[in-house]
Amino acid sequence: MIYIASPYTHKNKKVMQNRYEAVCAFCAQATLTENFVYSPIAHWHPIAIKHLLPRNAEWWKEYNEHFLALASEFWVLKLGGWMESEGILREVKFAKARGIKISKFKGGSY
């Protein structure tokens, strides 16, 4: 399984929605090329909105690390803000410590 990280949290909810849509498109393309992927943003964004779950990296830390530990690869979608993302920075460190292969992919400006 490939864990896909992408920036998410932003003060502007439209930016968060755009980031969600961008990672969903990326996941769809990855799946079409026969990759088995999991993205916490693609999976949890609509559920978090509908059921009023927190949408910050700290709240999801333990949950995301559980799934990342199961991954054979860690892909980072480089959308705007990816280098400042607390969640991505923490997950990169987590993946490196476990020897999980890390790849980065160009994304949009969101």
Extents of the domains making up the chain: 2-106
Model pTM?
0.94
Query: Which superfamily, per CATH, for 2-106?
Result: Hypothetical protein PA1492 (3.40.50.10400)
pLDDT above 60 (res 110): no
If pLDDT is split at 50, 70 and 90, which confidence band does 107 have? confident
The whole-number pLDDT of residue 60 equals 95
Give the Å distances, CA to CA, from 55 to 4, 29, 71, 102. Answer: 17, 25, 22, 24
- Per-residue pLDDT of 53-75, as tens digits, reads 999 999 999 999 999 999 999 99
- Per-residue pLDDT of 30-44, as tens digits, reads 999 999 999 999 999
Burial zone of 32 (CB within 10 Å; 0-12 exposed, 13-18 middle, 19+ buried): exposed
For the chain, what percent of residues have pLDDT higher than 70? 97
